[in-house]
Amino acid sequence: MKEENSDSNKIPSLSLLWPSVFLAVGLVVIKATYVKISQFWGIGDWDVPLNLFIKGTYYSWVASASQSDLLFALGAGGVGGLIFRLASPYRWFSRVVFFGFLLFGVVCIAYAVVGRQAFAHFNAQPTSNLFTLGLGGGDFAKLQSSIIPYATPGALVALVMGPVLYLLSVWIMGRISTGWSSRRFRKIYLVGGLGTVLWLGLGWQLDKSAWFFAQDRYIHENPHWTMLRSTFPDFLKAKSKLLSIDFPEDDLMDFRSPNWHTTVSDPSDPLLKKLRDRPIKNVIVLVLESVGSHYLTPYDKNSPVTPRLAEAAKNSVVFDSYYTPVGWTVYALNSILHATTPPLKGYTRTSFVLDSLQTPSIATVLRDRGYQTVFMASGDPQWPSEGIFDNGNFQLVRTELNLASPKRNSSWGVKDKYLFDDIRKFLDGRNKNSKPFFMLAWTDQTHHPYSLGSDEMNKAQNDIDRYLSILNEVDGYIGELLNYLREKNLADDTLVVITGDHGEAFRQVHNKFGHGYSVYDEEVKVPLILWNPRVITEGYRNSTVGSHVDLAPTLLDLLGEPTPAEWQGSSLFDPGHPPRAYFFAAARGQYLLGVREAKWKYIIDARLEEEELYDLEKDPLEQVNLSEDHPNRATRLRQRLAAMLKANEKKDAWVSMH
């Protein structure tokens, strides 16, 4: 009898060959739709334009983008196959392994679909960090408005049909191949091996090319491995070589609390001199959600978006080089209130953890010194750190539905008009015998998805147009508030502070979208405008480099109040203020650190071991990397970042070094 018909050479009906093969095929096909996202920036459809199929470059792109997916599927199949082989003497165990791997394949296909849509928004694969940031408060409902735009009909169909087609393909090929001989399977393995080598070879060169920098550099990562790597950082720990550098001991001074003397600054600045003669009583801090300095008229005279802010600048100090330490709302809130940069624990290339420090907030300090403390927001900025106001920082807290129940604008909150209405109601209730007050007011509508209030209105404009429309509307509310303060004779005794928690990117400068994923200026540079018509009779600019950790010390300095010794930041009017600002981003699995010093901006990707250096005077959009042209400057700033990491080695290192 010929070998083709020999029962001894037949492959068992249960085999991990087809589950592994179709896992690889499924992941490659799903990744192929990423190429469309990278080229056309569309997320609505899952079809690839037919004209791409006749272009050889398309297949090169797909091969390059899917290399890690193919290797992941082959690796999983190899490990599963080994376990299956060891289990083969035990029929029940081998069946458990087979169906367990089949379930694993279904989950992988479904997760690849979810990851594909997440990539459209985050420009990188999802990580445990993102899930922790997004779900840390346990209120998943808050995410609805930002998730629903990506739950397109095509995505939902793919989420269902992907696993179904995977199972159907495995079943069909399992039936067809029943009874095939080992010789035929050896041919299949040979052809499959050659095809794999050719596919990997086709995309290998492109993986090293500039295409990923022009499109999406993280497109080639396997989403499953990225999630595993970020979930088990200690197991997959790897230190950055570039940041393993010696630095002068004095570099740690930037991270020591500068306020051990707990005294106010020497009033050498003209503004401080005026305030010492006649102090300001009240402070209103307006934090504009997801608003950097990029689109504001005081920072770009050609921008027509915020004319009322431009008018207000005539009675303001405008800070030109002011940053947020981290591009996420909750951490910006901690820095604004507690004058402390959220520390990084367990630093690796792939993971980070942020903790709120138990340092006194500016609200606590001013409450204990006789101020009424008020927090108002049209959203809920304490999400996902629920309960951060429970210690009584603020005597009055009013957020979202407290302002306009039940008129939600999106799952994130209500329209900003209700916030400004409530601010005026609070001011109306005051009289000459009222305590001085400190108010922190936080807007919401400029948060993604930038809702105008109805589906019809939202669909009529794209993201950036909706965002700018809302920003223009908020600018009008600010102008009305400033006029109202004048009408109520409160303007002279009230300092209005206008800032943003972080910026927002719209792929206009660095092909980034959203916030928290890079440390380029469009995401971390924010406005700081101090308005008071009595003291600041003529507006002027301040070039001091600072960040949110400096805001609370600056306000206490302006009020003539001493600063708590535990705070890291220092007054922007203090001549001894360090001429630097530090920032980082790590939510999507990369690890970016940056420092701004004078005109220089230095960035390091500690995972890819890449560095960037920009001269912001000549190159404010950070387009020309000068790290190779100025290696000494890059090295010196890298030493400062190494010092930042050193200061973070211990919990609460920011406040334990004085």
Helix, strand, or coil here: 633? Answer: helix
Confidence tier at 385 by pLDDT (50, 70, 90): low
More confident site: 401 or 600: 600
Q: Are 81 and 20 in contact (CB under 8 A)?
A: yes
pLDDT of residue 142: 67
User: Largest Cα–Cα distance in the chain?
Assistant: 109
- For the chain, the structural domain boundaries read 3-231, 249-655
For 107-151, what is each residue's pLDDT tens digit?
999 999 988 888 777 667 777 766 665 555 445 566 676 777 777
Q: Domain 249-655: which CATH class? A: alpha beta
Quick one: what percent of the chain has pLDDT higher than 70?
Answer: 81
| Range ranked top by mean pLDDT from 225-234, 286-295, 430-439 | 286-295
Per the listing, tokens 């250096």 go with 613
Residues 454-492 as b/e (b if ≥16 CB within 10 A, e otherwise) read eeeebeeeebeebbbbbbeebbebbbebbebbeeeeebe
Cα dist. 482→468, 488, 528 in Å?
A: 21, 10, 16
Kindly state the tokens that stand for 655: 């406040």
Whether pLDDT at 200 is above 70? yes
Across the chain, mean pLDDT equals: 83
Whether pLDDT at 420 is above 80? yes
Q: Are 603 and 585 in contact (CB under 8 A)?
A: no
DSSP 312-333: HGGGEEEEEEEE-SBSSHHHHH
Which residue, among 524, 473, 531, has the nearest Cα to 497 in the 3D structure?
531
Return the number of other C-beta atoms located less than 10 Å from residue 159's C-beta.
18
- Report DSSP state, residue 175: H
Q: Are 374 and 426 in contact (CB under 8 A)?
A: yes
What average pLDDT score do residues 175-183 get? Answer: 83
Helix, strand, or coil here: 446? Answer: coil
Which residue, among 403, 340, 356, has the nearest Cα to 375 in the 3D structure?
403
Q: Are 352 and 405 in contact (CB under 8 A)?
A: no
Cis peptide bond upstream of 449, omega within 30? yes
pLDDT of residue 87: 83
The rounded distance, in Å, linking the Cα atoms of 407 and 400 is 9
Helices and strands: H and E segment counts in the chain: 21, 18
Whether pLDDT at 460 is above 60? yes
What average pLDDT score do residues 315-323 get? Answer: 96
The lowest-confidence range among 151-160, 453-462, 485-494 is 453-462
pLDDT of residue 256: 73
The lowest-confidence range among 21-35, 120-134, 283-297 is 120-134
The answer to whether the Cα torsion of 449, 451, 457, 462 is positive or negative is: negative
Whether pLDDT at 309 is above 50? yes
Whether pLDDT at 595 is above 70? yes
Kindly state the tokens that stand for 315: 């009675």
**Angle subtended by helix axes 56-65 and 17-40, to nearest 10:** 120
Cα dist. 37→43, 124, 146, 213, 466 in Å?
A: 6, 12, 18, 14, 22
Which conformational region is residue 381 in: left (phi greater than 0), alpha (psi within -120 to 50 degrees), or beta? alpha
- Report DSSP state, residue 9: G
Distance of alpha carbon 419 from its chain centroid, rounded?
Answer: 25
Record the pTM.
0.84
Kindly state the tokens that stand for 492: 């002279």
537 exposure class (CB count in 10 Å sphere: 0-12, 13-18, 19+): exposed
Confidence tier at 5 by pLDDT (50, 70, 90): very low
Instruction: Provide CB contacts within 8 A for 442, sequence distance 6+.
Output: 287, 289, 375, 376, 377, 378, 379, 381, 419, 501
